[in-house]
Amino acid sequence: MPAMTEPKLIAGNANRLLANAIARRMSMHRGMNVAPVDARVERFNDQEIFVEVFENVRGEDMYIIQSTSNPANDNLMELLIMTDALRRSSAARITAVIPYFGYARQDRRAKARTPISAKLVANLLTEAGVDRVLTLDLHAAQIQGFFDIPVDNLYAAPVFSLDIKHHFRDRMSDLMVISPDVGGVARARELAQRIGAPLAIVDKRREKAGEVAEMTVIGDVSGKTCIIVDDICDTAGTLCKAAQVLTDNGATEVHAYITHGVLSGPAIERVEKSVMKSLVITDSIEPSEAVKKASNIRLVPTAPMFAQAILNIWNGTSVSSLFELDTLGPIYEGLYQTD
């Protein structure tokens, strides 16, 4: 049976724009005002984090909206301390809505004497009192198994397919989806199937972390509009080099669809100077002013999807239904026209 209490949101400082957008969208769905609860998340002079919730949350179904993006450690600690504050205030259930799950790239021991930080973060969240996690495009699907609590992992591919069908509707037959490495083939294949496009792979060899020594295109991209698909863009070095390699192999245009625009260091400058016509990212990480001003970077909203997922968790209905365009399409109606 649906819960009797209304879902309540609380936002950290990591991505207040997205939190407010989710609240507005939930207000539309509920036909009533939904706003993040009144709280303050501040720092003492020595940078210790302090949280105070000004509303009664006893017995409430609480949703903490907080990406663990840069500064990752600060935002993670905010999430943990907010969880502790809610647990000690007798919240009935605490769901951590983490649009960007930091430390996800450290999901295994690739070398001796290295940590599995994604598992450590999972332990921290569970011990702090989180009852459930809602996230978007985990770097590795097995991270769900690091938790002993339910994890709902949403996917950007359905939203990207809506965006592609809208912006490339006159040349769908020319599209080719590109995986920037062998490890991302499953993600790229899913999007390729959704838009009915062929798939190619850019095989890369690394001599050391962060440096790509050689790239080879597996597949014929000549005369194609290539769409590179990946989950994270950090410094954009590999992405921009892949775009150049595709162009050198005959691609007419190169675009990229990346779920999490980390875009650290020289990333934005590299993207603007690259041969890519556009880089499309979600708002899972709050965009900086530089991202907003970049001529070839565009944002896709995730608030409609997260708002519906929160409502589905609250009322006990399917979250996986949001993987299907029949369900997701109406949620994004008005943003995309695919006819």
pLDDT at position 225 is 97
Q: What is the pLDDT of residues 263-274, one digit of tens each?
A: 999 999 999 999
pLDDT at position 6 is 86
In the predicted model, is pLDDT for residue 1 greater than 90? no
pLDDT at position 4 is 53
The residue to which tokens 């519906």 are assigned? 308
pLDDT-derived band at 2 (thresholds 50, 70, 90) equals very low
Residue 260 β-bridge partners: 232
Sheet with 7-11, side-by-side order of all strands: 7-11, 61-65, 93-98, 132-136, 151-154
Mean pLDDT confidence for 126-138? 97
Mean pLDDT confidence for 94-100? 98
Active-site pick, 119, 165, 204, 224 = 204
User: What tokens appear for 282 in the block?
Assistant: 């979600």
DSSP state of 335: T
Q: What is the rounded CA–CA span in Å between residue 212 and residue 241?
A: 9
Q: What is the pLDDT of residues 167-217, one digit of tens each?
A: 999 999 999 999 998 889 999 999 999 999 999 999 877 655 555 568 899
CA-based R_g, the chain, Å: 20
Dihedral of the CA atoms 152, 158, 162, 163 (nearest 10)?
A: 80
pLDDT at position 32 is 80
Q: Which among 154, 140, 168 is positioned nearest to 278, based on CA atoms?
A: 168
Q: What is the rounded CA–CA span in Å between residue 291 and residue 242?
A: 21
Q: Is 119 a catalytic residue?
A: no
User: What tokens appear for 79 in the block?
Assistant: 């999430």
DSSP state of 36: P
3-state secondary structure string, 169-182?
CCCHHHEEEEECCH
Instruction: Determine what percent of the chain is predicted with pLDDT higher than 90.
Output: 86
pLDDT at position 3 is 47
Mean pLDDT confidence for 242-256? 96
Q: What is the pLDDT of residues 280-321, one digit of tens each?
A: 999 999 999 999 999 999 999 999 999 999 999 999 999 999
User: What tokens appear for 316 in the block?
Assistant: 């006990």
pLDDT at position 89 is 96
* 3-state class (DSSP) for residue 281: strand
Neighbours of 119 (CB within 10 A): 18
pLDDT at position 87 is 97
pLDDT-derived band at 338 (thresholds 50, 70, 90) equals low
Q: What is the pLDDT of residues 39-53, one digit of tens each?
A: 999 999 999 999 999
